[in-house]
Structure 1
Amino acid sequence: MMIDNLVVAVVGVGHVGLPVAVAFSKKYDVIGFDISEKRIEKLKDGKDDTRQFQREELKGSSIHFTADPSRIGEAGFVIITVPTPLDENDQPDLTSLKRAAKTVGENMKKAAVIVFESTVFPGTTEEICIPLLEEYSGFEAGVEFFVGYCPERFNPGERKTPITKIRKVVAGQSEAVLEFVAAVYGNVLDAGIFKAKSIRIAEAAKVIENTQQDVNIALINEFSMIFNRLGIDTGDVLETAGTKKSFLKFTPGFAGGPRLGTDSYYLAHKANAAGYNPEIIMASRRVNDGMGSYLACLIAKKMARRGLAAGTRLTVLGVSYKEDNGDLRNSGVIEVVWELEEYGFEVQVADSCADPGEADERYGLVLTPEQQLLPASAIILAIPHTSYKEAGWPMIRELLAGGTGMVFDIKGVLNPTEKPMDIELWRL
């Protein structure tokens, strides 16, 4: 099969799949399939609810968006990019992945190459996905169709670094498949390819990338809890320790988003199945999962010490899972908002990057435009988008009632030396 005249099908054109489809459409004829007819109709009209692409970018692309699974059979190269979340018990939920494997199996043609990009625990592709593809296609893997793995490696909603500028890991069920998958992706990406020695190794590498970050954030969060009790500013400690070249520069805060935290549970699930209890990973999860409650309780206590109790208005700036990103999935800020409301505070929320419609649909949360925020007794700078950092203390002061009150700078981005005298500052 020649790589220059391939038809590529991307199964699942959501947060991850759409950027993949757009990138591949620069080189190949691309079919963008999704089970959501509503999603497909919007994409055909140039509307991206994930807010990653403008209307002109989609209308100008050559992607054939469809909810008809039979069109998968036109493709010689199929990329599966469906979500792999957690269930209510923090266990891997492979429902969408299994459904996608079934759909592809029922519709793919002989000799097709099927590549999974969904994040999974080691062994998923070969132990779960390939058998499903064989069952529903009637074809034999490695003989009548071929399988590769290329985990997504970019932040959905991140426009500063497009997918083509990020080095990708690829793997295949054989050396020949590996080389073919590497050639196809290499024809699209500018940042280069790393060839993993096996699919299981690529799967494992993906989950530990985020798990390592999760553990490091938990460690810094625990440092901040200790230093808060000791009356020491965590930011000052990290700045001082950071003068050592080998010191890893993480900051305290939330460990959320579509994969951070989720991947830790995926790896822990497989570890437990293998008879090993991953103590450090799960201890880190407990720390990070508890940050919302910890912060809400701490803020409530500090407000009470100033005589500000139930009914007091608070403003939360930033509710997405990370800076300069409108993705609201698994945001740690949501729990802070909900718990502060349970304490009886009047909480108004603004986010310069997030979609108000998604906030309402996903969490029942009302986002208020910054210019419509009412004066508040305290500001919680939870997710410091660039617009908030650039506006700085003048914006903060304007949002406070009478220009005075409390500011909770969760990420420690505001310069304390520039703080107005009549504002009390606390940093995580």
Structure 2
Amino acid sequence: MKDKIKIAIVGLGYVGLPLARLFATKYNVIGFDINQQRVEELKKGIDSTLEVENEVLENVLIDAPNAEKGLFCTTLLEEIRNCNYYIITVPTPVDKNNKPDLTPLVKSSESVGSVLKKNDIVIYESTVYPGATEEVCIPILEKASRLKYNKDFFAGYSPERINPGDKEHTVEKILKVTSGSTLEIGEKVNDLYASVITAGTHLAPSIKVAEAAKVIENSQRDINIAFVNELAKIFNLLNIDTQAVLEAAGTKWNFLPFKPGLVGGHCIGVDPYYLAQKAQEVGYHPEIILAGRRMNDSMGNYVASEVVKLLVQQDIKVKNARVLVLGITFKENCPDVRNTKVVDVIENLKEFGTEVTIFDPWANTSEVKREYNLETLRNMPQNKYDAIVLAVSHKEFLEIDFIKHLNPKGVIYDVKGFLNCKVQGKL
């Protein structure tokens, strides 16, 4: 099996690169991405997403595409033509109206279709609604390749389970769901992943089942977080410490340990919309899923309003009040700013007339500027502020002397329940 397989990984981001690195320990892997800068960095052994350590990446990099094993990175489509497994790991975002945007998936399918050959297998890892692979992607592959599905070429679906910034649950240590367009292909896809995934695999009976399994994983988490976010709003009105309540309830063996917070990123804050749209297409209005989304999408406005209340209580004039927001990435100790809901906090604070400064030692300043038109600092500013809002629990923030950076009546709002110092507000 090993000697016959040549794998193309299409999309070298947070999902694709760790997978490519892992497969490259046993197989010849061609990593393809349309981002020239990204590919050039990877060729130098540098991963700006910090998902793969530079030394680990350097150990699998090869200079030519035809070695027995290793990873060759390229922006040239022609260099993946000789592969026989194509694994597509592009993002599947939503647009400004929270409608699924399949553009990256469509474009990558067109690209792979143009080099597809008889007996090749195309595997999708991107999160989609049930049916998307066979209803949207397969027709594109057929049209571009002029080959017949399940006769000339085949497909599989193996949903990604990457957790950005997590150095413990890396790709090989997370059990992998697999599937194929026929029983035989399902076994082949499963065997491929099983050869590198030490945690094991689970072969689903169909592509649709595997797609559905992935999309409900994050929908379930989204709903659970929405529940504790609602609890936080209620307990704040009752003047009860939400964290203390959750800690007490957590002493029961089957209580689920979810915490309130901002729900962003490319998975939990996005995937439920994919399932909701598909449900609506078949005539069902998903009440719980969309209610959870509305609750979680409201938290940026809620946090900003709570900070403003604290300023008013301290007799601090809200207009032109100086606010320092700590963190803009979507989660702690990770440079990923995709779909970060900290932006909602910032925009709402600005609508109240405050002057907002953003400090994040992890975020790429040019990326934040390009995505959100916001200026960020990589070093802690030496000014004093009327309010400090901890939005992301980066480890570096524990080292800050907050009193030194606060005006006499200044307030601290801890979104994450992370700080050891005295705070005036928290979820």
Supply the distance in 2 between the matched residues of 1:4 and 1:149 (Cα, whole angstroms).
23
Q: Which amino acid aligns with 2:41?
A: K
Q: Which residue of 2 aligns with 1:283?
A: 291
Structure 1 residue 327: Cα displacement = 0.7
* Structure 2 SS opposite 1:379: strand
Structure 1 residue 350: Cα displacement = 1.4
Q: Which residue of 2 aligns with 1:412?
A: 417
In structure 1, runs of 5+ residues without a counterpart are none
Could you say what the CA RMSD is over the residues aligned between the two structures, in angstroms?
Answer: 1.8
1:386 to 395, 404, 423: 395
* Structure 2 SS opposite 1:89: coil
Q: Which string of whole-angstrom CA distances, capped at 9 and with x for unpartnered residues, describes residues 308-357 of structure 1?
A: 12222221112111122221111111111122122121211112322222
Supply the distance in 1 between the matched residues of 2:74 and 2:379 (Cα, whole angstroms).
38
* Structure 1 SS opposite 2:86: strand
Q: Which string of whole-angstrom CA distances, capped at 9 and with x for unpartnered residues, describes residues 155-182 of structure 1?
A: 2343343211111100011121111111
* Structure 2 SS opposite 1:377: strand
Supply the distance in 2 between the matched residues of 1:242 and 1:160 (Cα, whole angstroms).
23
* Structure 2 SS opposite 1:211: helix
Supply the distance in 2 between the matched residues of 1:36 and 1:367 (Cα, whole angstroms).
23
Q: Are positions 1:9 and 2:15 aligned together?
A: no
Decide whether aligned partners of structure 1 residues 359 and 51 sit closer, same or farther in structure 2, where only a CA change above 3 A counts: farther
1:377 to 374, 386, 392: 386
Q: Are positions 1:182 and 2:181 aligned together?
A: no
**Contact 1:235/1:427 (8 A) holds in 2:** no
Structure 1 residue 56: Cα displacement = 4.1
Q: Which residue of 1 aligns with 2:66?
A: none
Q: Which residue of 1 aligns with 2:347?
A: 338
Supply the distance in 1 between the matched residues of 2:245 and 2:303 (Cα, whole angstroms).
20
Supply the distance in 2 between the matched residues of 1:39 and 1:236 (Cα, whole angstroms).
44
| Sequence identity (%) | 44
- What is the count of residue pairs matched by the alignment? 417
Q: Which amino acid aligns with 1:294?
A: Y
**Contact 1:221/1:252 (8 A) holds in 2:** yes
* Structure 2 SS opposite 1:74: coil
**Contact 1:15/1:157 (8 A) holds in 2:** no
So what's the TM-score if we normalise by structure 1? 0.93
* Structure 1 SS opposite 2:81: helix
Q: Which residue of 1 aligns with 2:160?
A: 152
Supply the distance in 1 between the matched residues of 2:169 and 2:14 (Cα, whole angstroms).
15
Structure 1 residue 212: Cα displacement = 0.5
Q: Which residue of 1 aligns with 2:406?
A: 400
Structure 1 residue 294: Cα displacement = 1.4
**Contact 2:50/2:334 (8 A) holds in 1:** no
Q: Which amino acid aligns with 2:87?
A: I
In structure 2, runs of 5+ residues without a counterpart are 63-70
1:307 to 290, 315, 326: 315
Supply the distance in 1 between the matched residues of 2:129 and 2:33 (Cα, whole angstroms).
24
Supply the distance in 1 between the matched residues of 2:141 and 2:169 (Cα, whole angstroms).
33
Q: Which residue of 1 aligns with 2:112?
A: 104
Q: How does 1:37-56 map to 2 (within 5 A)?
A: 37-56=36-55
Q: Are positions 1:68 and 2:73 aligned together?
A: no
* Structure 1 SS opposite 2:309: helix
Structure 1 residue 293: Cα displacement = 1.0
Structure 1 residue 59: Cα displacement = 3.8
Structure 1 residue 385: Cα displacement = 1.7
Q: Which string of whole-angstrom CA distances, capped at 9 and with x for unpartnered residues, describes residues 98-133 of structure 1?
A: 111111111022211110001000001111111221
Supply the distance in 1 between the matched residues of 2:90 and 2:382 (Cα, whole angstroms).
37
1:252 to 238, 250, 260: 260
Q: Which string of whole-angstrom CA distances, capped at 9 and with x for unpartnered residues, describes residues 375-428 of structure 1?
A: 222221111122324x3xx622233236x631111121234xx63xxxx52111
1:319 to 325, 328, 331: 328
* Structure 2 SS opposite 1:334: helix
Q: Which residue of 2 aligns with 1:297?
A: 305
